[in-house]
Structure 1
Amino acid sequence: MPTSSASLLREAVWRASPWPTPSSKQVSIMSCWNGATLLRPMSAPRLPFTPTALILDQLGAWEKVNAASEELKVFYNRSGKGKALSAPHFGNRLVKARSGYSMVWGERQNLLRVLYQNLKDPSRILTNKNVIDIKHDADAVTAICDDGSSFRGNMMIGADGVFSKTRSKLWELAAPDHQDLVNHDRNCLIADYNCLFGIAQDISSILTPGDVDTSYNSGRCAVTIAAEGGKVYWFAQERLSHTHTLGNFPRYTDEDAEAFVARNGDIVLRPGPSGLRLADIWKKTVSSRLVAIEEGKFKLWHWGRIACMGDSIHKSTPNLGAGGNAAIETAATLANGITRLADACAASGRHPTQAEIESMLTEYQRSREVRAAAVVGSSGALARAHNLHGPTSRLFVYAALPRLAEFFPELICNITIGAPKLDFLPLPMASLTGTQPFNPAHGDGMRESKIRRMLFALPLFALFVAARVVLNVGPAMDWVVAFRMGGKIDLATGAVPILGSFYRHRGLDGFISTINSFFFPSMYGYDAASRRQIISFLTDGFIFIMIWIFESGRRANRMTPMQWPLVFAFLGQVLGIGALSPLYCFLHYTLSPIENFSALDQRLTSNRRTAAALPALALTYLIPFYLALAALPGAQPGQQQHFLFLWQLYPVWLALTLWGLGTLWRDTAAEDVLRAAPRDVPVMKWYVGVASVLSAGVWVWAWAWGGHGMRGVFVPRGLLLGGRAADLAGFTGDFLRWDEVFALGAHLVWLGYLFGDLARAGMLREGWWRVMGWGAVGVVAAGPGATLGMGWLLREHILATRRHKDALTVESVARLHGEAAGKRS
């Protein structure tokens, strides 16, 4: 009788272990598996092995599993009519670069064969045993089989599938004490879809080996995976008329499968005259099976000396190919617990007590339950996306998926990174050298709560609210209108008219002219201290807007508001950049947990956008602003106002210039993601470094020369509320000082939050308080802009060169286990 991958892996653990079999370690274990797992060829699903490649490699089985599998190469996402929903993506390159292992797709029976051949003692696997009852007492547990044989041991592990007999017995025994959990588990297994699995032959002229085609449809979907020799593995799903629960799952016949294809044969997998529909694949299909697709997250994994694993406690849909991997992970986690218990018992030469077994099994469930549930949830969410089930799924497929070509490889990476390891076996070098190291603190089920981050960042939101209240130009509008209606600016060289038209659009020109009039007193010498302050402040703006541009091109910030920094900049021109900066920082911190940078390529920015950032900002932001402050030689008095009109719309010109200049650089994103994740760091260091030197120089000039001092230039004289200023010049001066306080203050607080993330991740070796001390000194000595720039660069350096404290790397293994252990691994 064939075995399940979970139970066979448990046995395979002993084969690779450096110590004798469990019985000689005073712990005897029986495992029960489902003998119906391989009744027919299509009952043996194929699954991507990457999430458990580390475990298989530890067992010495990965090379054989890899050789018996197919590599997944190119992913295509299409609608039911064949229209491309996203660009094709070479997903395996990304997965291998990150994990160290290829993304392969193999038959479960091949995995079982390799694991069986890898066993130290295959005789321990007993076939043709059908467990009909389980007896549990204080000293042991006994499995009774239908052939009259029985087996007694310290504990029993059931890996017997969705309709688990072990789980039923567990419910029976646990009901008196845990009736609420038993009731939950009896009703948690559902089926919203059926699925027709098939293997087709002779389709090589249409599909290339390694192609993965997914067709998204309303209430139905189809997926094909092309293998060598013209073979195609495929499945198609259909949403059921209602949700089924345990006990009333539908059963299907061959006639039902024919009817399924008749209803769904028009699904397009490949468009065009020589394309491929489901009906075409069906004609070449040599093996198939139609089944209901169960999914469920159970809460009761063990009772007394009995435990379950695999599909019997966490059953997922096939859409993500995660079910078999989850079973292997659960088996490995259980093996770790058994090993620790066996070692403890071996020291005193005794068998474990029931209390010790229950404690071990409780820890087993605790360490696996969240991650297993997350995998079930992710697979279920993918099934609903494939079937366009509900408005959220449709919104994702039509709005987000076109911008996420590497959607499926990212899902695989999210599963892979948090995969457990066998604690008692060495770590293979391949598992320690990827750009996204294995890390039990990251991945599905371990994501940091965005709500918690949002609550933690409420001080930044409070700054936003305060800025919106304080930066209110309402009390000064009468002065602004009167100033503008006066029609002139009194410069040192004499009065010049206020420019009222530039873009030849009455509404736009009138709006910008009003904004210009508000800033004229500070810009043109009515208040000398305020003039110095605005020059320093907007020079600092050169830095944080450059940082916004870098963040907008960062892979970790895809599909977030950080992708649209120029929207924040444009609104800042209207409401005050100090009012928008806290909101930007609040959103960025909330949406950018440290787990987003678990892969080095997630830190990477767009090389084109990054390379164009400094020249584009200089041309559209810094130079027009400086020219608006002083007339060019030979120019007519007041003509600098033209540059101020240009500067007020700098977000528009910046967007166009970024795009135009960006085309001058070759797009290296595809290779950078795989082999050169730090490629952008030198450019950013130069750009931010130059901007920081400029900012520091202007900061010192602003307060050290001119007799005003730091307080006179940068400290607001009072709140804008209540109209304490005597005139427009006084109001504008205080407005700009508060604008700087909120804009630069928010960014420095934000930087403190980001360094807090690094500290909690064990990546900030300098110490959070020490870095904050450096920052405080930097603000006084070099100004807030230069401090922000240097602080952001330090964070960038850390993200590019250091890994999370729980990441499995050559360095971390050497640090935890000594240099010799690191080399041995």
Structure 2
Amino acid sequence: MGETSKMQDADGLRVIVVGGGVAGLTLANALEQANVDYVLLERRGEVAIQLGASIGIFPNSARILDQLGVWKTVEEESEPISIVHSRDSTGRLIAEPDESSAMSRKRTGYDTAWGERQKLLRALYENLKDRSKVLVNKGLADIEHEADGVTAVCEDGSSFRGDILIGTDGVFSKTRTKMWEFAEPYHPELVKRDRNCLISEYNCLFGIAYLKGNTGLKPGDLDTSYNPGRCALTIAAEGNKIYFFAQERLSTTYRLGSIPRYTQEETEAFIARNGDIVIRPGPNRLTVADLCKHAITYRLVAIEEAKFKLWHWGRIACAGDSIHKATPNLGIGGNAAIESAAALANGIKRLSDSCGREGRRPTQQEVELMLAEYQKTREVRAAGVVDASWALARAHNIESLKDRFIVYQVMPRFAEFLTERLAGSMIGATKLDYLPLPMRSLTGTRPFNPSQGEGLQESRLKRMLLALPLLGLAFAAFFVMDARPSIQWAEELRDSGVVQLETGSVPILRSFYGIKGFDDLFSLLNTYFFPSVYGYDSASRRQVISFLTDGTVLLTIWMFESVRRANKLTPLQWPNLFALLGQFIGIGCAAPLYCFLHYTLSPIESFASLDQRLTNVRWSRAALPAVLLAYLVPLYITMVWPDLAARQLLLFIWQLYPVWLSLTLYAVSRLWPDTEKTDRVHGVHRDRPTMRWYVGSASVLASAVWLWAAWLPAGQGHGLFQGIREVFLPGGLPRSRTSLVEFTGEFLRWDEVFGFGSHLVWLGYLYWDLTAAGMLKEGWLRMMGLGVLSLLALGPGATLGLGWLWREEILATRRHRDALTVESVGRLHGKFRKD
């Protein structure tokens, strides 16, 4: 009991840490550097024991280790992941190799490193200045909980008293079991739920091997073999060292108390069943059996999964695997444990400082409040890690049709799918609030941000509800622009066979493509453009030329958005489908739908990383040339071609411009190499000059044509506003008109109002987002006022283009108000480490 008495005589708050694993030693380091007294009790005879296990250190925990002064050692003894290969059961690549590790390093300042768990434990232990506080052979036997303190009783009879007890003693935690006993009378249903939540549906053979000769594996290669019901994963290090995992689905689901422990014979049987899993195909064929033959250590274990709800009771709390246990498939469970240790240390430090200033020990109520805040801080992110690992385990083992779709359809089209999934779990990571932040963590292209990331994502449903006015514009456009009353007039004109002009008649072309139904439809659509094409409605001709010139701005923006990295795997990748829809029902109906989807799918958090704002330069450089060649130039030629009959032929071709635009975009893009992989790391601003020139030039052209269209009546004694009213403003509902010419004029004016009106409302939404994120310093109302002035002075196309460009400038140069950058940390805290 001498050790107990010694602690009772000590001054200040005391913490008992049970378990010397990753979470326990991280907490010990954090408490030591917080000047908080503690003792760590480890049941084994040594701290850094070799169990054949490896561990991945991701940027979220690397930053914490860097704050503690451990990262340099860990980094030197680990292998940074460089290329990820995803393979099927034969070893064939499912997707092109994912080389996004360099991008991850550029985003955060840290590599994802892989190494031996033993070496991480040793680095944490040796980083302690006073290692006498770490005691081995101290297995926990009992906990005594009192109002003024808590006592850990060890199996050897020694006991240790403190103010708080933290259990970091693993998935079969004795601390958690004892905590349940204390809590059960007060929270019986919660304890019952937790006793049954831990399950095991997979087992896993993990080990370390040294291969001989030329293996074809390079240091940093990560290979995953996807197979129905089983999988394997390897990480290659220097010297032909291989960390490996092999996993299979169990025949039944096990729960706490019945989870199997495997014998050597069962391990050998596992290898016999799964040794044929292919890691790499020939000529350097590598299988799980090959790895086991050259292994220096391997072990078969059941894999547990759990999200516990009772994290603390009284003066007791749990951290790490004892409270949130993930499968190893994502490799992020140890990182979650490090974050939980940091969150606990932050709370303990604040409580210690508060009590220290008053010269007293913390009450149980104060401890409980601090532990409740710890759970609140970590629970959502920890649950996200468990869920993500759960999902990846099922994908690795191809458990369902959804998993098969992701593996064989999504991943081949988006190789960095898993990297992006991981990014969300990095950005909102916990840090040690009382230690300076390393400079490298503040200079990445995706700054850490405590208000973003796993569990803090903006609700897509909420954004959808906020964007309902845009959807309302689409419904209003369908109502206002109802073309049914005019169809009979259009059919009569088409079937009459001629267009009557002042200079004579022009025969109506009924067939062009040689497909009767197709030709009938497009010849009918053509009749609506006759007043503009042949100029017998002067105002409509000017309006259409200006309106469709403005479309150059709109389409160029849509092209940029379609190749933006943040918009991958969304409908925004196919803008020409919206353009084609607009050709049939009017852009006034299609544009609000596009804007509604864009706002719903593009929250500010999508641009947390500068590379997510980036567009694929190969395609974006082709945007305006393709729009000019396939859309605008054919339109102008159609309007002015001297052969009046030929104008209809050209109109037939132009009507399908979305198809020609897709083909032209592809052809023109071949003039440049695809540099996206390099740009996302080293050239995140490479597309900005192209954006400025293209959208800026299209805006200048749109404004000039708009002013021409509005001012042309000035020669007849009218002013600008009279011209705007005559050419651009609708005078009533199209259905109220009595002829096809009048109907078409009103329809096209409404088409422009809804088409560009929805985009200007969309810009307002986007600027609202920027304001909420603290990125719009000029003020939302001021920007809206400037938008109105621009609309009157320059027209809708130029206003859309300039407004979009300014938003692009903000996304590229300003960070979210909560982003941890050199500027924000220096301004708010003045604490970062200049290393």
TM-score bin (small chain):
over 0.9
CA contact (8 A) 1:7 1:33 kept: no
In structure 2, which of residues 161, 166, 179 is the aligned counterpart of residue 157 of structure 1?
166
* CA distance, structure 2, for counterparts of residue 107 and residue 412 of structure 1: 21
The amino acid of 2:728's aligned partner reads: F
CA contact (8 A) 1:269 1:275 kept: yes
CA contact (8 A) 2:771 2:779 kept: yes
| Secondary structure at 1:495 match in 2 | strand
| Secondary structure at 2:329 match in 1 | helix
Deviation at 1:469, TM superposition (A): 3.0
* CA distance, structure 1, for counterparts of residue 554 and residue 28 of structure 2: 57
Q: Which residue of 2 aligns with 1:48?
A: 57
Asked whether 1:452 is paired with 2:462, we answer: yes
| Secondary structure at 2:736 match in 1 | coil
In structure 2, which of residues 143, 149, 154 is the aligned counterpart of residue 134 of structure 1?
143
In structure 2, which of residues 14, 23, 26 is the aligned counterpart of residue 9 of structure 1?
26
CA contact (8 A) 1:336 1:424 kept: yes
* CA distance, structure 1, for counterparts of residue 394 and residue 117 of structure 2: 25
Asked whether 1:373 is paired with 2:380, we answer: no
Q: Which residue of 2 aligns with 1:606?
A: 616
* CA distance, structure 1, for counterparts of residue 485 and residue 287 of structure 2: 68
CA contact (8 A) 1:16 1:60 kept: no
Asked whether 1:125 is paired with 2:125, we answer: no
Q: Which residue of 2 aligns with 1:208?
A: 218
| Secondary structure at 1:176 match in 2 | coil
CA contact (8 A) 2:48 2:119 kept: no
Question: In 2 relative to 1, CA 188–180 (structure 1 residues): closer, same or farther, beyond 3 Å?
Answer: same
* CA distance, structure 1, for counterparts of residue 676 and residue 502 of structure 2: 52
In structure 1, which of residues 322, 335, 343 is the aligned counterpart of residue 345 of structure 2?
335
Moved more, 770-779 or 796-805: 770-779
CA contact (8 A) 2:565 2:614 kept: yes
Q: How does 1:95-244 map to 2 (within 5 A)?
A: 95-203=104-212, 205-206=214-215, 207-244=217-254
Deviation at 1:282, TM superposition (A): 2.5
CA contact (8 A) 1:33 1:161 kept: no
Moved more, 383-392 or 1-10: 1-10
Q: Which residue of 1 aligns with 2:423?
A: 413
Q: Which residue of 2 aligns with 1:509?
A: 519
CA contact (8 A) 1:200 1:231 kept: yes
Deviation at 1:30, TM superposition (A): 5.1
| Secondary structure at 1:226 match in 2 | strand
* CA distance, structure 2, for counterparts of residue 251 and residue 347 of structure 1: 50
Deviation at 1:400, TM superposition (A): 0.4
| Secondary structure at 1:705 match in 2 | helix
Deviation at 1:34, TM superposition (A): 6.1
Asked whether 1:22 is paired with 2:22, we answer: no
* CA distance, structure 1, for counterparts of residue 758 and residue 19 of structure 2: 63
Q: Which residue of 1 aligns with 2:759?
A: 747
Question: In 2 relative to 1, CA 714–64 (structure 1 residues): closer, same or farther, beyond 3 Å?
Answer: same
* CA distance, structure 2, for counterparts of residue 290 and residue 679 of structure 1: 49
Deviation at 1:651, TM superposition (A): 0.9
* CA distance, structure 1, for counterparts of residue 320 and residue 436 of structure 2: 25
Per-residue CA deviation, residues 572-602 of structure 1 (Å, 9 max, x unaligned), is 1112111111111111111111111111101
Moved more, 349-358 or 639-648: 639-648
Deviation at 1:621, TM superposition (A): 0.5
Moved more, 441-450 or 364-373: 441-450
Q: CA RMSD in A?
A: 1.9
In structure 1, which of residues 588, 594, 617 is the aligned counterpart of residue 627 of structure 2?
617
Aligned length: 810
Q: Which residue of 2 aligns with 1:475?
A: 485
* CA distance, structure 2, for counterparts of residue 404 and residue 579 of structure 1: 31
CA contact (8 A) 1:49 1:106 kept: no
TM-score, length basis structure 1: 0.95
Question: In 2 relative to 1, CA 117–695 (structure 1 residues): closer, same or farther, beyond 3 Å?
Answer: same
CA contact (8 A) 1:811 1:822 kept: no
CA contact (8 A) 2:232 2:244 kept: yes
In structure 2, which of residues 307, 313, 316 is the aligned counterpart of residue 306 of structure 1?
316
Structure 2: where are the runs of 5+ without partners?
1-17
Q: Which residue of 2 aligns with 1:288?
A: 298
Asked whether 1:789 is paired with 2:801, we answer: yes
Q: Which residue of 2 aligns with 1:693?
A: 700
CA contact (8 A) 1:744 1:784 kept: yes
* CA distance, structure 2, for counterparts of residue 781 and residue 39 of structure 1: 72
Q: Which residue of 2 aligns with 1:650?
A: 657
Question: In 2 relative to 1, CA 776–156 (structure 1 residues): closer, same or farther, beyond 3 Å?
Answer: same
Deviation at 1:560, TM superposition (A): 0.4
Q: Which residue of 2 aligns with 1:712?
A: 726
Deviation at 1:703, TM superposition (A): 2.1
Moved more, 204-213 or 523-532: 523-532
* CA distance, structure 2, for counterparts of residue 531 and residue 411 of structure 1: 50
Q: Which residue of 1 aligns with 2:372?
A: 362
| Secondary structure at 2:529 match in 1 | helix
* CA distance, structure 2, for counterparts of residue 427 and residue 509 of structure 1: 67
Deviation at 1:523, TM superposition (A): 3.5
Question: In 2 relative to 1, CA 796–624 (structure 1 residues): closer, same or farther, beyond 3 Å?
Answer: same
Per-residue CA deviation, residues 532-582 of structure 1 (Å, 9 max, x unaligned), is 221121111111111110001000001000111111111111121111111
* CA distance, structure 2, for counterparts of residue 739 and residue 217 of structure 1: 52
Per-residue CA deviation, residues 334-375 of structure 1 (Å, 9 max, x unaligned), is 111111111111111111111111111111110111001001
* CA distance, structure 2, for counterparts of residue 375 and residue 205 of structure 1: 37
Structure 1: where are the runs of 5+ without partners?
24-28
Per-residue CA deviation, residues 438-491 of structure 1 (Å, 9 max, x unaligned), is 111222222211111111111112222222333322111110011111222234
| Secondary structure at 2:528 match in 1 | helix
Q: Which residue of 2 aligns with 1:26?
A: none
The amino acid of 1:792's aligned partner reads: W
Q: Which residue of 1 aligns with 2:452?
A: 442
Q: Which residue of 1 aligns with 2:280?
A: 270
The amino acid of 1:648's aligned partner reads: Q
| Secondary structure at 1:289 match in 2 | strand
Asked whether 1:81 is paired with 2:95, we answer: no
| Secondary structure at 1:765 match in 2 | coil
Question: In 2 relative to 1, CA 527–288 (structure 1 residues): closer, same or farther, beyond 3 Å?
Answer: same
Question: In 2 relative to 1, CA 377–518 (structure 1 residues): closer, same or farther, beyond 3 Å?
Answer: same
CA contact (8 A) 2:535 2:541 kept: yes
* CA distance, structure 2, for counterparts of residue 181 and residue 30 of structure 1: 30
Q: Which residue of 1 aligns with 2:739?
A: 727
CA contact (8 A) 1:34 1:159 kept: no
CA contact (8 A) 1:31 1:156 kept: no
* CA distance, structure 2, for counterparts of residue 570 and residue 292 of structure 1: 54
CA contact (8 A) 2:20 2:168 kept: no
Q: Which residue of 2 aligns with 1:60?
A: 69
CA contact (8 A) 1:132 1:146 kept: yes
Q: Which residue of 1 aligns with 2:668?
A: 661
Question: In 2 relative to 1, CA 37–415 (structure 1 residues): closer, same or farther, beyond 3 Å?
Answer: farther
Moved more, 280-289 or 603-612: 280-289
Q: Which residue of 1 aligns with 2:677?
A: 670
| Secondary structure at 2:204 match in 1 | strand
* CA distance, structure 2, for counterparts of residue 451 and residue 38 of structure 1: 48
Asked whether 1:258 is paired with 2:268, we answer: yes
The amino acid of 2:658's aligned partner reads: P
CA contact (8 A) 1:142 1:151 kept: yes
In structure 2, which of residues 83, 94, 99 is the aligned counterpart of residue 90 of structure 1?
99
The amino acid of 1:619's aligned partner reads: L
Deviation at 1:507, TM superposition (A): 3.4
* CA distance, structure 1, for counterparts of residue 498 and residue 834 of structure 2: 80
CA contact (8 A) 1:61 1:115 kept: yes
Question: In 2 relative to 1, CA 204–223 (structure 1 residues): closer, same or farther, beyond 3 Å?
Answer: farther
The amino acid of 1:781's aligned partner reads: A
Asked whether 1:738 is paired with 2:774, we answer: no
CA contact (8 A) 2:321 2:337 kept: yes
Asked whether 1:759 is paired with 2:771, we answer: yes
| Structure 1 outlier segments of 4+, above 6 Å | 36-40
The amino acid of 1:713's aligned partner reads: V
* CA distance, structure 2, for counterparts of residue 457 and residue 250 of structure 1: 52
